[in-house]
Structure 1
Amino acid sequence: MTGVAGTAGRWQSLRERIPAPLADAGLVALAALDVWLNLWNETSQGLALAAVACAALVFRRRFPLTVLLLTLPVTLLEDVVVAPLAALFTLAVRSRDRRLLAFCVTLAAIATAVPSPLDVAGAYDRPWTLVYFGYPLATAAAPVLLGQLVQARRDLSRRLVEIEEAKDHERELHAQAVLARERAQLSREMHDVVSHQVSLIAIQAGALQVAAKDTGTVEAARTIRSLSVGTLDELRTMVSLLRASGGDATELTPQPTLADLHRLVETSGIPVELTGELPATVGTPAQRALYRTVQEALTNVRKHAPGAAARVELSHDTDEIGVTVTNAPPTRPSLPLPSARQGLVGLQERADMLHGTFEAGPAADGGYRVRMRLPARQN
């Protein structure tokens, strides 16, 4: 079988290198030579059938079944093999109907095995002809099997090309997914870290502008606050653009954990009460999510509730761990700092990735409450 497959592959390779018109001309010439060498019935009928069989080979690619049927009548009068076998091969290469191919093989074998001329064979020839039927049957089956192997090889080559294209597409999608994760991670870190610091600068500059008595100091504070507000606005635009191309992100760089929570509270610039604790077994992704929740909530308190105190409560039970950040109502008007609520969107995404819940909304006393709950079993 390996040898036959190799022959089919070499035959297909040879056919692909030879131009179709040249191949057709060569095949017609070969069929004509076969007829000339085996011509014994020189009647006009025999010559006409032979000419039709040879000429029909030119159209075998477009009408393979019709060409086969046109090559079979000459086998009843002449001992020719090239034209019908070539037609059988072409039909086998182009057809996937196994029943049709089996019928054509049988028909070609019968046409070859029938005693010729039909009106001369005697009764004593019939049993020999029946036994002899196995030889033309095998002869007719050979080009069909070879054609099917060529077809299978062509399908396999096409399938390999499709697989390579699918792999290339998959690699491209993977690269795009990695880029999207990096963009989403970058957008979240820009919001959580950079905007956190810039908003604090803006708030401190605003406070200095109000408290300073010196004209130069007031003007410098106003400039610092103006630049900080503009930077926050630019950051908001950049975060929106990055988030539009991002997806569910994975952490790509070392991130703060709950061990850094006390320092975050101490440097927040507002009165914060930290209560509760979490077990040491809390996983790193959950620690990062809870830390970012506290960071975002305290940043929002400074931006939107100046003068308000905040309370950070850590809690856990057998099923869940969580953090709740609640702030009182503001004691003075807030500064008009730009905001697109991207931080809350990022926290919701973190909660979704960890199969938890996130809530943010006004509290009953006029303040604001942010809460994240995560499954304890995933940590």
Structure 2
Amino acid sequence: MRYRTVLIEAALIAAAALDTFVNMWSDAPVSIALGVVACVVLPLRHRFPRTVFALTLPAALLEAALVAPFVALYVLSTRVRDRRWLAGCAVLFAIASAAPSPFDTEATSASDTLVYLAYGLATAAVPVLLGQLVLTRRELSRRIEEIEEAKEHERVLHAQAILAQERAQLAREMHDVVSHQVSLIAVQAGALQVASGEAATREAARTIRTLSVGTLEELRTMVTLLRASGATELSPQPTLADLRTLVGASGIEAKLIGEPAPTVGTPGQRAIYRTVQEALTNVRKHAPGAAATVELWHSGPHTGVTITNTRPPRPALPLPGAGQGLVGLHERACLLNGALESGPTEDGGYRVHMTLPLT
């Protein structure tokens, strides 16, 4: 495109120079000088269209150049929307080209001058109309782009509105169903803790009630997030500093060992926390009575966590589950350019291993 522009620019300047050379029939130095000025200033017509047009008019008056003012008038009409102003410039061009030269020794009749003026007006109308056509086309192109941008913005707003409705509906379902059921669990556990005469039963009821209350708090935060259409962040965000509390309140025999890398970012800490949370929940559901070990580690450019539980001493009760917990952990690890591995161990237990990069 730039090569083509340079060629067109060179061709126009060459045509203007040739026209000036052909029309230099007069030996008047002023005529020659004005013709040269018209050719020299012509490359500046895009930056100073009005000035260049004004400098080329004297050359047309002295019949030293016609191509240069013609091109200057065309460029001027592509930059100016005021048509009355353009009409005045066209009339000036016609007068300058039709008026007899001061250095012309032959007399020109009035009728010939009027014919030349009409011819000049017709000639001046060509660059003006072409320039206005180009200007209109540019404005229409910009208007079409603005309309497309407005339509795209409207589509985005429509999609956001639909997403907000779905989030609000999901928040209502979570609040009406899940929150109600968990609240009943907490109430029943509290009643059992008060009414039971066995210490082990009271301790189990206390653990159930504590877990239920914590689940309700996280559920309320999630409902608030959904109702806000994603405009707020989960608060507070779990970090590795909360792992010891999580392990201690898991309701199973579990221990936390090892240390993570000191440079783990907030997303990585959250991923490790959720992995430990899901793994301990699975141990409690699917391996009753088993002991678990949570090991934090870091090696070179990687860090992570390994959760391993022993073989359960008794079979698990049939509990509902969609198997989406580990799938969600795998997706979370992939989002952080990490990996998640899970599977049974040789002694009948289970192992969950997450690896995350430190960068």
Length-normalised TM-score, structure 1: 0.56
Distance 2:88 2:63 in 1: 22
From 25, 48, 55, the counterpart of 1:63: 48
Amino acid at match of 1:183: R
SS at match of 2:186: helix
Q: 1:135 to 1:46 in 2, by over 3 A?
A: same
Distance 1:158 1:18 in 2: 25
Distance 2:183 2:145 in 1: 55
Q: 1:145 to 1:156 in 2, by over 3 A?
A: same
Partner of 1:182: 166
From 166, 175, 178, the counterpart of 2:150: 166
Contact 2:31-2:64 within 8 A present in 1 as well: no
Q: Summarize the alignment of residues 25-104 of structure 1 with structure 2, pairs less than 5 Å apart.
A: 25-78=10-63, 80-104=65-89
> 4+ residue runs of structure 1 moved beyond 6 angstroms?
none
Contact 2:49-2:76 within 8 A present in 1 as well: yes
Q: CA deviation at 1:199?
A: 0.5
Q: CA deviation at 1:246?
A: 6.2
Distance 1:228 1:189 in 2: 18
Amino acid at match of 1:93: T
Partner of 2:182: 198
Distance 1:18 1:171 in 2: 40
Q: CA deviation at 1:139?
A: 0.3
Amino acid at match of 1:227: L
Distance 1:70 1:21 in 2: 23
Alignment of 1:220 onto 2:204: yes
Distance 1:127 1:172 in 2: 67
Q: CA deviation at 1:162?
A: 1.9
Q: CA deviation at 1:88?
A: 0.2
Distance 1:155 1:18 in 2: 25
Distance 1:122 1:228 in 2: 110
SS at match of 2:78: helix
Partner of 1:111: 96
Could you report, residue by residue, the CA deviation over 1:38-71 in whole angstroms, capped at 9, with x for unpaired residues? Answer: 3311321211111011111011111111111111
Distance 2:91 2:3 in 1: 31
Partner of 2:107: 122
Amino acid at match of 2:51: T
Q: CA deviation at 1:181?
A: 2.2
Q: Summarize the alignment of residues 145-156 of structure 1 with structure 2, pairs less than 5 Å apart.
A: 145-156=129-140
Q: 1:18 to 1:162 in 2, by over 3 A?
A: farther
Amino acid at match of 2:38: A
Gaps of 5+ in 2: 232-359
Q: CA deviation at 1:145?
A: 0.7
Contact 1:109-1:137 within 8 A present in 2 as well: yes
Distance 2:206 2:34 in 1: 104
Partner of 2:294: none
Give the total of aligned pairs.
231
From 211, 215, 230, the counterpart of 1:231: 215
Distance 1:72 1:18 in 2: 30
Could you report, residue by residue, the CA deviation over 1:270-321 in whole angstroms, capped at 9, with x for unpaired residues? Answer: xxxxxxxxxxxxxxxxxxxxxxxxxxxxxxxxxxxxxxxxxxxxxxxxxxxx
Q: 1:27 to 1:131 in 2, by over 3 A?
A: closer
Contact 1:32-1:54 within 8 A present in 2 as well: yes
Q: CA deviation at 1:34?
A: 1.3
Distance 1:128 1:82 in 2: 22
SS at match of 1:41: coil
Could you report, residue by residue, the CA deviation over 1:313-332 in whole angstroms, capped at 9, with x for unpaired residues? Answer: xxxxxxxxxxxxxxxxxxxx
Length-normalised TM-score, structure 2: 0.59
Contact 2:70-2:127 within 8 A present in 1 as well: yes
**Root mean square deviation, CA, Å:** 2.3
Identity value in percent: 64
Contact 2:38-2:65 within 8 A present in 1 as well: no
Higher RCO by CA contacts (8 Å cutoff, separation 6 or greater) = 1
Q: Summarize the alignment of residues 243-254 of structure 1 with structure 2, pairs less than 5 Å apart.
A: 243-245=227-229
Distance 1:17 1:181 in 2: 51
SS at match of 2:101: coil
Q: CA deviation at 1:169?
A: 2.2
Q: CA deviation at 1:18?
A: 4.7
Alignment of 1:133 onto 2:92: no
Gaps of 5+ in 1: 1-15, 248-379
